[in-house]
Amino acid sequence: MSDAWRQRLNEWSPYAVTPLLVLAALPAMGFGPWLTLTVAGLTMGMMLFLMASGLTLIFGLMDVLNFAHAAFITLGAYVAVTVLGLIGGWAQADALGPNLAALLVALLCAAAASGALGFVFEQVIVRRVYGAPLLQILITMGALIVIEQLVIVVWGPNALPLPKPPSLRGSLLVGTSPIESYRLVALCVGLVIALLMHFVLTRTRLGLLVRAGVEDREMVEALGYHVRRLFIGVFVAGTALAGMGGMMWAQYQTLVTSQVGDSMTVLVFIILIIGGLGSVGGCFIGAILVGLTSNYIEFLSPKLALGSDILLMVLVLMWRPRGLFPVAAH
Amino acid sequence: MADGDALLRLEDVHTDIGRYRILHGVDLEVRRGRVTMLLGRNGAGKTTTLRTIMGLWHARQGRILFAGRPIEGLATPDIARLGVAYVPENMGIFGKLTVRENLLLASGPKGLAQERLERVFACFPALKTKWDAAAGLLSGGQKQMLAIGRAIVEPRQLLVVDEPTKGLSPAMVEHFIAALLALKEEQTTLLLVEQNFRVAQQMGDDVAVMDQGRIVHRGPMQALVGDEELQQRLLGLSLGAAG
């Protein structure tokens, strides 16, 4: 086999992991549970992708390890509670149209609030610690605590209910397999956003700059582009996506606590590592892998479920120590 | 050298990397429409000089004038936008992007101009056949073609190239010499770092030799080519040995 073919095989083989996992799970559980769990895993993967994709770009482009990312997830969830409360007529109507419209408004508000806070956060805090990883960890961890406490001040310390809209509470039957309606909506929303991101990253000059910047920031600057300005935009978009992910996840859980972001942090970092730092495509596949694996393992071997994500990460890193699709050269 | 001819001038430039001072008062002049070779042993400070010109490392002291304008305080993108193209030693190719996307990044807001693109293809025909291939899959020589092609896909006032022939096969080196000589005939101003003296003497109009962070010799290339003792003293080689 020539070197070029070996290199191509090496590049493309990670794409086969997800289909192989899905196919391998089928004989182990039978078609009915397999379909339900596959849809559940894909949905969870989409929500995780929303939360993680911004973080991977932020790290890839500027080497910034933002441990406060969880705060933007939390903020998105709480904003959803407020917005869905304000438009309760739509959210609790017995019709699909108003229900979906309410979700869309909540999603956009969550994105706007998290993005706006992300802008302030970048300008006030992150820009002071470029190139200083230890300070980044300290200051973003500190900011995470402060933002979470502020959330408690504004929304109170108690968990808040976030009931699903009536038309999204039930399940659809596909054959004998029940598929939750909300999961289908979340799956569609995640897919649309992922496709939009894919379009921006692969079909626009802005996306080209982001991809190039993740690979070699210095060279992009030497070509005449201010990566610093680009990064502000990426940071805002990344935090807005985190807010969207937080909103979708909270709605799925039907309960919001100030720890909602924290509880996702480990998963988000596992996805970044599995996918390869800086790679949005890797993040997408990593998120789906994590979603599917945790659903399959929870069904097949509940005792293993607690450690399934770590186990998955270990296996991936043993195969590809820099993740499935490493981009960032750091 | 007439002052009015200088496109780029470094005056007493000092650069630190971390706690270490690498450049100790570099004085250098690159004249318009000429090829200036920057030579010196490993660790002499050649790459640091280029990076300081580009603003990738900032001069701690001294002045850098480009077309008469001080640029030592400017950010790298602003220096590039003045018309300075830079090809680093590692070529700076975006391996995940295609050849087309690599060139597109270096083009203006209107995209790739066909006329400029034809010029790039005339110098490096291999780029045309690899147009949609990921740049990371190119050979070393093809990557260098792409790096130089990217630097000339838009009109630039100055090309700063760090070791364009490093690690290339002899046939590929000849190809690059021909391409760079074609640029020279078009009166492109070039500042090249080169370890291979045989290559340097074929291309250079002027030469500056560095040692321990300083320029220790400046003048016409022909003067250095004709003085083997000077070569031996400055570069530790003679033309016969280098050739």
Asked if residue A7 has pLDDT above 80, the reply is: no
Minimum distance, in Å, between the CA of residue A189 and any CA atom of chain B = 28
CB contact under 8 A, B104 and A225: no
Residues of chain A contacting B56 with CB distance shorter than 8 Å? 218, 221-222
- Average pLDDT (A121-148) is 93
> In the prediction, which pLDDT does A210 show?
93
CB contact under 8 A, B137 and A211: no
Instruction: Tell me if A246 sits within 8 A of A75, measured CB to CB.
Output: yes
The pLDDT tens digits for B201-226 are 999 999 999 999 999 999 999 999 98
> In the prediction, which pLDDT does B185 show?
85
> In the prediction, which pLDDT does B188 show?
87
Nearest to B95 among A209, A215, A227 (CB): A215
> In the prediction, which pLDDT does B196 show?
86
CB contact under 8 A, B80 and A226: no
Q: How confident is the model at residue A10 (pLDDT cuts 50, 70, 90)?
A: confident
> In the prediction, which pLDDT does B238 show?
44
What ipTM was estimated for this complex? 0.91
The pLDDT tens digits for B97-147 are 999 999 999 998 888 999 999 999 998 999 999 999 999 989 999 999 999
Q: Taking Cα atoms as reference points, which of A215, A280, A289, A325 lies closest to residue A50?
A: A280
Asked if residue B240 has pLDDT above 60, the reply is: no
Instruction: Tell me if B25 sits within 8 A of B62, measured CB to CB.
Output: yes
Three-state DSSP class for B55?
A: coil
**CB-based contacts of B224, cutoff 8 Å, min separation 6:** B201, B207, B209, B217, B230, B231, B234
Q: How confident is the model at residue B1 (pLDDT cuts 50, 70, 90)?
A: very low
Mutation for testing the B interface, residue in A8, A204, A214, A223 having most B CBs under 10 Å: A223
Q: How confident is the model at residue A1 (pLDDT cuts 50, 70, 90)?
A: low
Asked if residue B182 has pLDDT above 90, the reply is: no
> In the prediction, which pLDDT does B2 show?
44
> In the prediction, which pLDDT does A192 show?
95
Q: Check if A206 contacts B (Cβ < 8 Å).
A: no
Q: Taking Cα atoms as reference points, which of A243, A232, A226 lies closest to residue A119?
A: A232
Closest residue in B to A228 (Cα–Cα): B77
- Average pLDDT (A148-159) is 96
Q: Is B58 exposed, middle or buried (0-12, 13-18, 19+ CB in 10 A)?
A: middle
Nearest 5°: phi and psi at B217?
-155, 135
Closest residue in B to A3 (Cα–Cα): B137
Residues of chain A contacting B88 with CB distance shorter than 8 Å? 219, 222
Mutation for testing the A interface, residue in B105, B137, B159 having most A CBs under 10 Å: B105
Q: How confident is the model at residue A328 (pLDDT cuts 50, 70, 90)?
A: low
> In the prediction, which pLDDT does B243 show?
37
Q: Which residues of B touch A (CB under 8 A)?
A: 54, 56, 75-77, 80-81, 86, 88, 92, 94-97, 101, 104-106, 137, 150
Size of interface A-B (CB pairs under 8 A): 56
Q: How confident is the model at residue A329 (pLDDT cuts 50, 70, 90)?
A: low
The pLDDT tens digits for A80-132 are 999 999 998 999 999 999 999 999 999 999 999 999 999 999 999 999 998 89
What's the mean pLDDT when you consider all of chain A? Answer: 93
Minimum distance, in Å, between the CA of residue B25 and any CA atom of chain A = 24
> In the prediction, which pLDDT does A292 show?
97
Residues of chain B contacting A222 with CB distance shorter than 8 Å? 54, 56, 76-77, 80, 86, 88, 92
The order of strands in the sheet holding B69-70 is: B20-31, B6-17, B59-66, B69-70
Q: Check if A4 contacts B (Cβ < 8 Å).
A: yes
